[in-house]
């Protein structure tokens, strides 16, 4: 049997919260856009992809991102765009409680997240959840760039082979695996928690 991993790195949006893309779809419907307008912009529009990269790396401020991305989407009111995009996103209490339980059991825990400015994190439980914070806008580098995973391992004080990384986007998992981390593609809390219990060698109370 493989030796249990000692550390857990988790994404924020879409792992410790509800599905981000569902919030984006609700925003689109509110704004009179096609439901997939935001997703398609980030996947297919070179300007939108560049804006997102600059924003997540902290090179572009909230107001500039809202103005420029609002123009891409052709929304009438760009001010407050970020808040509206995330308006339907809520905490996943089951996943958050699980991370807290792993931490209480002695697993070292860290956040590894691509940020959307300074106000999209609910930090009230951060002390309970995380030993380490690795946030793209603060480092100037984002997932899936390999250097952010190396930085996360260094901050965790563990070798990549001692870590598990959880993300809802498959493209963000590949560089972590290349470094030697175990990875979990998050789709729902029950499946993710079961995989983490096996990888970390820790059983946590059912929530």
Residue-wise pLDDT tens digits, 89-107: 999 999 999 999 999 999 9
- Do 54 and 103 lie in one domain? The reply is no
Token pair of 144 as six digits: 């899936």
- Do 108 and 166 lie in one domain? The reply is yes
CATH number at residue 178: 3.40.50.1000
- Do 99 and 163 lie in one domain? The reply is yes
**Per-residue pLDDT tens listing for the chain (207 residues):** 578 999 999 999 999 999 999 999 999 999 999 999 999 999 999 999 999 999 999 999 999 999 999 999 999 999 999 999 999 999 999 999 999 999 999 999 999 999 998 778 989 999 999 999 999 999 999 999 999 999 999 999 999 999 999 999 999 999 999 999 999 999 999 999 999 999 999 999 886
- Do 117 and 195 lie in one domain? The reply is yes
Instruction: Give the pLDDT score at 77.
Output: 95
Q: Which of 43, 64, 85 is the last residue of a domain?
A: 85
| Domains contained in the chain, number | 2
Give a yes or no: residue 71 inside a domain: yes
Domain that holds residue 163: 7-18+90-200
pLDDT tens digit sequence for 46-64: 999 999 999 999 999 999 9
- Do 78 and 94 lie in one domain? The reply is no
| Non-local CB neighbours of 90 within 8 Å, separated by 6+ positions | 17, 18
C-alpha to C-alpha distance for 128 and 115, rounded to whole angstroms: 20
- Do 43 and 98 lie in one domain? The reply is no
Lateral strand order in the sheet of 108-113: 132-135, 108-113, 7-10, 163-167, 182-185
- Do 98 and 48 lie in one domain? The reply is no
Instruction: Give the pLDDT score at 207.
Output: 63
pTM of the model: 0.95
Helix or strand holding residue 134 (H, E): strand 132-135
- Do 118 and 193 lie in one domain? The reply is yes
- Do 128 and 192 lie in one domain? The reply is yes
- Do 14 and 30 lie in one domain? The reply is no
Instruction: Give the pLDDT score at 49.
Output: 97
Q: Which of 65, 85, 105 is the last residue of a domain?
A: 85
Taking the mean position of all CA atoms in its chain, how far away is CA 93?
15
Q: How many CB atoms lie under 10 A from the CB of residue 104?
A: 12
- Do 57 and 147 lie in one domain? The reply is no
Give a yes or no: residue 73 inside a domain: yes
């Amino acid at each position: 049997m493989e030796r249990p991993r000692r550390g857990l790195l988790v994404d924020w949006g879409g792992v410790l919260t509800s599905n981000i893309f569902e919030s984006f779809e609700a925003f689109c419907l509110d704004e009179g856009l096609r439901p997939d307008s935001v997703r398609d912009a980030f996947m297919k529009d070179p300007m939108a992809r560049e804006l997102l990269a600059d924003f997540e790396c902290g090179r572009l401020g909230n107001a500039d991102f809202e103005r420029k991305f609002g123009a891409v989407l052709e929304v009438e009111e760009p001010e407050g765009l970020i808040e509206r995009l995330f308006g339907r996103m809520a905490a996943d209490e089951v996943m958050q409680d699980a991370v807290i339980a792993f931490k209480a059991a002695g697993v070292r825990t860290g956040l590894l997240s691509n940020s959307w400015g300074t106000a999209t994190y609910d930090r009230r439980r951060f002390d309970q959840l995380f030993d380490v914070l690795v946030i793209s806008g603060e480092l100037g580098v984002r997932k899936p760039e390999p250097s952010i995973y190396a930085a996360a391992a260094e901050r965790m004080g563990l070798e990549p082979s001692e870590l598990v990384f959880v993300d809802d986007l498959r493209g963000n998992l590949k560089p972590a695996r290349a470094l030697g981390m175990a990875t979990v593609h998050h789709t729902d809390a029950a499946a993710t928690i079961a995989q983490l219990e096996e990888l970390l060698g820790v059983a946590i109370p059912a929530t």
